[in-house]
Amino acid sequence: MPIAPFREAVDAVALAGGEALKQCYQCGLCTGTCPWNLVKSFPTRKLIHQAQLGIVDFESEDTWTCATCRACVARCPRGVAIIDIIRALRNIVAEMGAGHLPDSLRVTMKNIAGTGNPYGEPAEKRTDWINDPELAPVTENAEILYFSCCVPAYDPSVRRLARSTAKVLKKAGVRFAVIGAAENCCGESVRKSGSETLFQKLAQNNIAAFAKSGINRIVLTSPHCYYTFKNEYPKLGGNFEVIHFAEYAAQLLKEGRLKPIKPLDAKVTYHDPCYLGRHSGIYDAPREVLRSIPGIELVEMPDHGPDSICCGGGGGRIWMETKKGERLSDLRLDQAAGTGASILAAACPYCILNFEDSILTTDRVGRIEVKDISELLAEAL
């Protein structure tokens, strides 16, 4: 049976923010660039053409594959905002009922809607990571606000990231405060998963909570939160000075407020998180932090900087299951191991979660470690 274009669906995608699909001239560079095609088949170009014709199969798992890593957008010769198109398609599923959300994603969205965090934990537990009075934030005259991201706040396996960050800040004598229970998930993965209404609510809530604190400088651990605070919140009225930890640490080092002295004696390779690198253009700051640590030999993986390969955790994928054999984090770990490094450094809680999982499932425990740059820096102080 021949197919017929479905104009209403095309208009719906455009209305949901996927206007960019009109510009695509179907060269297929996106498909070739997409890292998923290193491990399985994900026909990005075809998906966009289907959207152009309004004949998208919203029940297809392809709707949920994109990790919004931006590799395709960065290379698209027509400058098509492919992520916006993906977001629009997902929005039609999530809010217009054109299909179904993957189960695990649906649970996460429900948790965030209910409790403000993806784990469904009470808001009061948001600051449970502060288990040491040495790490305690200040309550007045703070220089900055620290936004830990829900993942280090609630996930026991990466709570250490919030602690190491706090330790670095303390060592530098930075007076930082946290908002705690009043703040919630930044909403980045929510928006990319198509739940636009929920995102708007989360964003408004955060903007109000941060505005109320009276502190305008915000330092963040997650590049996803960073991107959202910096690029999405201003359009909704939230104008803050937003600084990622990597940038802030590099600045503290430059100012001499931090002095790493303990040698680490390790070969380290650095993984550029998509939302810090391609989305935000920050490539040097994390490397400056690593180079400041005595004894570290920094080596690069074959694909680094703007060509970095996604860990597979963006675009809400962190809340979805990826089949073994199709995990980008496994591929990335192979690349890291190939450099001979004993430590894979990153600057994103999602990446670290994915890599730790891959170390377990690919049987690399004890052979390579995954660490946040804040951890390495804290160890050297």
Partner 1 sequence: MARIGVFVCHCGTNIAGTVDIVKVIEATKKMPMVAHVEENKYNCSEPGQAAIRDAIVKNRLNRVVIAACSPRMHEATFRRTVTAAGLNPYLMEISNIREHCSWVHSDAKDDATEKAIELISMAVAKVVRHEALFPQKVPITKKTLIIGGGIAGIQAALDIATAGYKVVLVEREPTIGGRMAQLDKTFPTLDCSSCILTPKMVDVGQHPNITLMTYAEVKEIKGFVGNFEVSIIQKARKVDHNKCTGCGTCWQKCPEKVDSEFDLKLGKRPAIYIPFAQAVPPKPVVDTANCRYTKYLRWVADGKQGKAPPQCRICEKICPTKAIDWEQTDQVITEKFGAIIVATGYQPFNPKVYTELGAGVFPDVITGLELERMMSASGPTSGEVKRPSDGAHPKEVVFLTCVGSRDEQRGRPYCSKVCCMYIAKHAIMLKEHDPEVNCYVFYMDVRAVSKDYEEFYKRAQESGATYIRGKISRIRQEDGKLIVRGEDTLLGEMIEIPADMVVLGVGMEHNAGASTLAQSLKISYDINEFFIEAHPKLRPVETMSDGVFVAGACVGPRDIPESVASGSAAAAKVAALFWEDFLIVDPMVSTIDQAKCSGCLLCTKVCPFKAIDTKVLRDGRTVAVVNESLCKGCGLCVAACRFGAANLRGFTQQQLLAELASILT
Residues making contact with partner 1 (CB under 8 A): 1-5, 7, 10, 22-26, 45-46, 49-50, 52-53, 78
Q: Compute, in degrees rounded to 10, the torsion defined by CA atoms 49, 53, 55, 61.
A: 20
Minimum Å gap between C-beta 73 and partner 1 is 17
Nearer to partner 1, 10 or 250 (CB): 10
Minimum Å gap between C-beta 78 and partner 1 is 7
Nearer to partner 1, 26 or 216 (CB): 26
Minimum Å gap between C-beta 294 and partner 1 is 53
Nearer to partner 1, 4 or 261 (CB): 4
Nearer to partner 1, 59 or 334 (CB): 59
DSSP state for residue 107 in the 8-state scheme: H
Nearer to partner 1, 3 or 261 (CB): 3
Minimum Å gap between C-beta 115 and partner 1 is 42
DSSP state for residue 108 in the 8-state scheme: H
Nearer to partner 1, 1 or 261 (CB): 1
Element (H, E) at 87: helix 82-96
Minimum Å gap between C-beta 169 and partner 1 is 47
Question: Do 362 and 287 form a contact (C-beta atoms < 8 A)?
Answer: no
Q: Which residues have CB under 8 Å from 94's CB, separation 6+?
A: 101, 109, 193, 194, 195, 196
Minimum Å gap between C-beta 52 and partner 1 is 6
Which amino acid belongs to residue 83? Answer: I
Nearer to partner 1, 24 or 318 (CB): 24
Beta strands in 148-200 (DSSP E): 176-177
Question: Do 138 and 129 form a contact (C-beta atoms < 8 A)?
Answer: no
Nearer to partner 1, 24 or 178 (CB): 24
Minimum Å gap between C-beta 220 and partner 1 is 36
- In angstroms, the CA 187 to CA 359 distance is 28
User: How many Cα atoms occupy the beta-carbon half-sphere of 178 within 13 Å?
Assistant: 26
Q: Is residue 232 exposed (0-12), middle (13-18) or buried (19+ Cβ within 10 Å)?
A: middle
Q: Kindly report the number of other CB atoms within 10 A of residue 56's CB atom.
A: 26
What is the DSSP secondary-structure string of 316-340? Answer: TGGGS---TT--HHHHHHHHHHHTT
Minimum Å gap between C-beta 22 and partner 1 is 5
